[in-house]
Structure 1
Amino acid sequence: MPDCIKLRPGATYAGKQGFSYFEGIARETTGAQAICMHLLTIPPGGRAKAHKHATHETAIYMTEGVTVMYWGDQLQHRMEVAAGDLLYIPADTPHLPFNPGPGPASAVIARTDPHEQESVVLLPELEHLVP
């Protein structure tokens, strides 16, 4: 039987999306087989690179602040997500979140990719579509 493992977020890593994430539950840290979970704080004005998670779903719980996310094949949809909101992003859905400020925005993020970064596909051709 595998061991239960407790982590306390401390170390960070640079994600392909352009943010620094607090290291969390992933195959690399716990041996997780089908899920990852980590914490993210986006500074005011912070913006991700346009991307999607190939074949993996994402669930987000906003704990602080407000973000704006553009999503869709041409990033044509816009959604505000505030502290207390839950957000679901289907697999293979292009998206680009940013923090309009004035304060930081923090969230708990879970994904069905146990490696976290393995399924990230950058979409530079969509970058110009978001102001």
Structure 2
Amino acid sequence: MTNSRDPSCRLLRAGDPFTGRQGLQYAVGISAESAGSKGLHLQIVTLPPLAKAKAHKHEAHESAIYVLSGASGCWFGERLDQHAMVRVGDFFYIPAGVPHLPYNPSDETPCVAVIARTDPNEQESVVLLPDLDAELQRRADPWPAK
């Protein structure tokens, strides 16, 4: 076993799935804890059918998503007033500090994606935004399946 302080390559398998503060299921691959990473986190996220995250942002850390299967809608922006549909083969970039709320519009198909983040510690930069959850719930159709 290599000491986590040694600058060495590491082969890892995804860790056991866990539910993050955002309310979604994650399986960590590369992190400070698993590989001694200093500035990168890489994981798999699974959104079951009709699942939605809690509104949140990552303070001072960028995120990049690549969808492997299914599709995800994502509300984003200061008041979650912008929307994107991210499908298989799409990359989606979230700048540091931008509020967002991903969801799975399908009632049958899970969405599985790879997430890379510039925070090597998965949950430390997560800031929940319950006021934005409530605001989104008041909208007429907050979960478009387009």
Instruction: Report the TM-score, using the length of structure 1 for normalisation.
Output: 0.96
Bigger Rg, which one: 2
Match of 2:92 among 84, 87, 94: 87
Query: Alpha-carbon deviation of 1:23?
Result: 2.1
Match of 2:51 among 46, 50, 56: 46
- Structure 1 CA distance, aligned partners of 2:134 and 2:83? 15
Query: Alpha-carbon deviation of 1:129?
Result: 2.6
SS in 2 for 1:28: helix
Report sequence identity in percent.
48
Matched AA of 2:111: A
Q: Which has the higher strand share?
A: 1
Q: Which residue of 1 is the match for residue 139 of structure 2? A: none
Matched AA of 1:119: S
Q: CA RMSD in A?
A: 1.0
Q: Which has the higher contact order (CA 8 A, sep 6+)?
A: 1
Ranges in structure 1 where 5+ consecutive residues have no aligned partner = none
Moved over 3 A (4+): none
How many residues are matched? 131
1:68 and 2:73 correspond: yes
- Structure 2 CA distance, aligned partners of 1:73 and 1:10? 33
Ranges in structure 2 where 5+ consecutive residues have no aligned partner = 1-5, 137-141
Matched AA of 2:9: C
- Structure 1 CA distance, aligned partners of 2:38 and 2:14? 20
Query: Alpha-carbon deviation of 1:20?
Result: 1.6
